[in-house]
Amino acid sequence: MTRGLAFDVSHLLAGGMVLLSFVLLYQDRMFGLLKVFAAHALVLALSVAWQANVQDAPHLYLTAAIALAFKAIAIPVALHRIVVRLGIHRELETVVGIGPTILFGMGLVALSIAVILPVTAEADPLAREDLAFALSVVLLGLLMMIARRNAVSQVIGFMSLENGLVLAATGAKGMPLVVEISVAFSILIAFIVIGIFLFRIRERFDTVDVGALDSFRGERR
Amino acid sequence: MSGADIAVSGLLAAPAAAAGALALLPNYRLTARLNVGAALLTLLLALSLTMARPAPGLYLHVDDLNIVFIVLTTFVGFTTSAFSASYIAHELEIGRLTPAYLRFYHAMYQTLMFAMNLALLANNIGLMWVAIELATLTTVLMVGIYRTHEAIEAAWKYFILGSVGIALALFGTILVYMAARPVMGQGMEAMAWNALLKAASGFDPALLNLAFVFLLLGYGTKVGLAPLHAWLPDAHAEGPTPISAVLSGLLLNVALYAVLRFKMLLAANAGAIAPGPLMVTMGLVSVLFASFMLYRRRDIKRMFAYSSIEHMGIVTFAFGMGGPLANFAGLLHMAMHSLTKSAIFFAVGHVAQAKGTQKIADIRGLTESHPVLGWGLVLGVVAIAGLPPLGIFMSEFLVVSSTFARAPLLAVALVAGLLVGFGALFLRLHAVAFGEPAGKSAPVEASYVPMFAHLGLVAVAGIYLPGAIVAWFRNVAELLGG
């Protein structure tokens, strides 16, 4: 096993992303959430840049630059302005309490380690542990989308999920099209953010009121 | 560059160029015609590919499997564009769409065609993923085009669920690459379909299993399989009807095509789990769930959206059973469903315009007030419910009979689901088509050609399938394997 500096640094960064995913889970203020997400994207950018360095794959620097400029700076700034403009910076509603959510999140991390490590016994240790971290970030992102009601925090959940995917893609050594895929994802996210702003989606979509759902489906009229 | 190479690039270039032109041209009569013309050109190029095929490249390829999907996609794309031209003129008259939105609509229609052709032609799992993502984005924008509260809600729901679906599919795609890398080395080869399939026997089976679970959940969301179907009825009900027709008739197939490709990959690896039972389960659950849900529907487009879930369930079930006969039945059913369901949506679109509503309770006695339209809808529902002698009867019969021979219990469950769905459709059809006409009733200025062309094909296929098509489908069914 090669447990040199390369391994330690990528481990540190990937682990940092999992940790920040947990921080996202317990944030109860909108602006706090945006800041933590920016940090999440920043760590992703560092991690991708490190992979570019270790794998000697200069095109990955481009992915890192996209992550830094777009997700760590542009998107949080845009969302910040939208939140102010729409006046939704009060406390966030959660569907499930914070305590159970965190416990459930810990279960998900254990699950992804239990799923990935035995399956990838033959892969190199760096790739397999990166993959386990990446799956944790993906699952925590999904959990966040379920546990939050408000559209902006669901989008943040989705973006953190997507950060996990980019982590997985860059961890898979020599994977082609990573840059193209990260560009495609950025377009997707840009659309979501524009969508929130244009359509002024506030808390509507996320209501659990069955009556509201009925009228939405046109089945009670 | 041979003629076939030109046809392949044309299949992508024609819709892409048309999308650009349609976004810029202001006159809607012209753009509607241009839309039809571009779709026709794409169809002709696709048909030319059945004669001669190019050698597979690193990014694009044409083989026995995807050519079936390409021909079907471009054909329904063409007829829907013809329907769309008459439908959209009416929407513009009543002011539901403005000329600016119409430009956007036509550009998005061609972008969707481009994305679907790219997804089908792609010889690369990453490229296919990007294409399906693009298709999702364009349909999201079109579902929300009316900008009503309901349309925006539906688009948002579709967006979030669709994004989660394609995110999971990407994770699966990465896992497939990781499984391929130790055998095939780094680089583009390790993501190319034809190379992957040849080397699949050497992949790590555990990684492939895990990948398939993610891929089935991810692309399965886009197929609309229960329990991942939640976006589908809303997206169908709230968007413009031509989009409901291409969503049901085409985009669901494209997502299923992705699942089938990965299924073949797993089937080529002796150590991997059999993907069939997973697909059979999801298919059967979709059939049973959707057929019961059909009873409570009060919106006519929503009802046919649930019927699409049911039929995609049947197709997935058939492919999950595997073997030459069930695969053949699955392919045939997929083609028949695409043709019939888009014909039904054409009819429903005109009905909704004539009546000014989509609510089933407000639509009465269509065969009295609009005889051609009413009987067209009746014929479509008779076809989709699976009555003989139409095409869907034959494909459903093949699915059920091939299942009876191998797993009688599953066949019983499937038949039960089919009968329940059958009952629901006729219960609603009776009220909508017969009896005293009621409510607002405007004349329709519509072209019935696309609708009756589809229904005519389905009727002919039910009685007589040309030997060439049988041989073609049989060949593909062999290819799909167990």
* Helix and strand numbers, DSSP H then E, in chain B: 20, 0
Report whether B344 contacts B381 (CB < 8 A): yes
pLDDT the model gives residue A182: 83
Q: How far is CA A51 from CA A115, A168, B190, B332, B466, in A?
A: 24, 11, 20, 47, 56
Q: How many CB pairs under 8 A join A and B?
A: 122
Inspect the interface and report whether the beta carbons of A217 and B302 lie closer than 8 Å.
yes
Beta pairing partners, B438: B364
The total number of structural domains in chain A stands at: 1
- At residue A41, does pLDDT exceed 50? yes
Contacts of A191 in chain B (CB under 8 A): 137, 140-141, 159
- B37-56 pLDDT, tens digit per residue, is 999 999 999 999 988 888 88
Provide mean pLDDT across the span B255-270.
Answer: 92
Inspect the interface and report whether the beta carbons of B156 and A205 lie closer than 8 Å.
yes
| Per-residue DSSP letter, A93 | P
Q: Which residue has the tokens 């921080």?
A: A23
**Distance, in angstroms, between A173 CA and closest chain B CA?**
8
Provide mean pLDDT across the span B3-28.
Answer: 90
Q: Read off the pTM.
A: 0.91
Q: Which domain holds residue A101?
A: 5-217
Provide mean pLDDT across the span A185-209.
Answer: 62
**Distance, in angstroms, between A5 CA and closest chain B CA?**
23
Residues 6+ apart with CB under 8 A from B409: none
Higher-confidence residue: B33 or B148?
Answer: B33
Structure confidence at residue B110 as a pLDDT band (50, 70, 90): very high
- At residue A3, does pLDDT exceed 80? no
Contacts of A145 in chain B (CB under 8 A): 160, 164
- At residue B436, does pLDDT exceed 50? yes
Please give the structure tokens belonging to residue B31. Answer: 């753009």
Inspect the interface and report whether the beta carbons of B171 and A168 lie closer than 8 Å.
yes
* Other Cβ atoms closer than 10 A to B445: 12
Inspect the interface and report whether the beta carbons of B130 and A180 lie closer than 8 Å.
yes
Contacts of A172 in chain B (CB under 8 A): 174, 177-178, 181
What is the three-class DSSP state of A148?
strand
Structure confidence at residue A207 as a pLDDT band (50, 70, 90): very low
- At residue B215, does pLDDT exceed 90? yes
Lowest mean pLDDT among B89-98, B262-271, B302-311: B89-98
Provide mean pLDDT across the span B181-208.
Answer: 87
Instruction: Suggest the residue from B111, B123, B132, B178 to mutate for an interface test with chain A (most A CBs closer than 10 A).
Output: B178
Report whether B244 contacts B283 (CB < 8 A): no
Lowest mean pLDDT among A21-25, A89-93, B232-236: A89-93
- At residue A88, does pLDDT exceed 90? no
pLDDT the model gives residue A90: 66
pLDDT the model gives residue B377: 93
Inspect the interface and report whether the beta carbons of B163 and A191 lie closer than 8 Å.
no
Lowest mean pLDDT among A75-84, B311-320, B395-404: A75-84
Higher-confidence residue: A102 or B445?
Answer: A102
Contacts of A195 in chain B (CB under 8 A): 155-156, 159
What is the three-class DSSP state of B124?
strand
Instruction: Suggest the residue from A160, A166, A173, A177 to mutate for an interface test with chain B (most B CBs closer than 10 A).
Output: A177
pLDDT the model gives residue B409: 93
- At residue B17, does pLDDT exceed 50? yes
Inspect the interface and report whether the beta carbons of B159 and A192 lie closer than 8 Å.
yes
CA B7 to CA B13: how far, in whole Å?
9
E strand or H helix at B196: helix B193-199
pLDDT the model gives residue B260: 94
Provide mean pLDDT across the span B299-310.
Answer: 94
DSSP symbols for A122-161: TS-HHHHHHHHHHHHHHHHHHHHHHHB-SHHHHHHHHHHH
pLDDT the model gives residue A213: 43
pLDDT the model gives residue B37: 94
Structure confidence at residue A197 as a pLDDT band (50, 70, 90): low
Cα-flanking dihedrals φ and ψ of residue A91, to 5°? Answer: -65, 150
CA B404 to CA A11: how far, in whole Å?
53
Q: Which residue has the tokens 């008459």?
A: B86
Peptide bond into B443 cis (omega under 30): no
- At residue B440, does pLDDT exceed 90? no
Residues 6+ apart with CB under 8 A from B103: B22, B23, B24, B25, B26, B28, B31
Kindly report the average pLDDT of chain B as a whole number. Answer: 90
- A124-144 pLDDT, tens digit per residue, is 777 788 889 999 999 999 999
pLDDT the model gives residue B25: 87
Contacts of A134 in chain B (CB under 8 A): 171
Q: Which of B278, B313, B79, B156 has the alpha carbon at shortest distance from A199? A: B156
- B330-375 pLDDT, tens digit per residue, is 999 999 999 999 999 999 999 988 888 888 888 888 888 888 899 9
- At residue A202, does pLDDT exceed 80? no
Q: Please report, rounded to a whole number, the percentage of residues in chain B having pLDDT higher than 70.
A: 100
Using CB atoms, pick whichever of B186, B207, B359 lies closest to residue A218: B359
pLDDT the model gives residue B43: 95
pLDDT the model gives residue B415: 95
CA B59 to CA B412: how far, in whole Å?
43
Structure confidence at residue A123 as a pLDDT band (50, 70, 90): low
CA B28 to CA B88: how far, in whole Å?
9
pLDDT the model gives residue B408: 92
Residues 6+ apart with CB under 8 A from B26: B99, B103
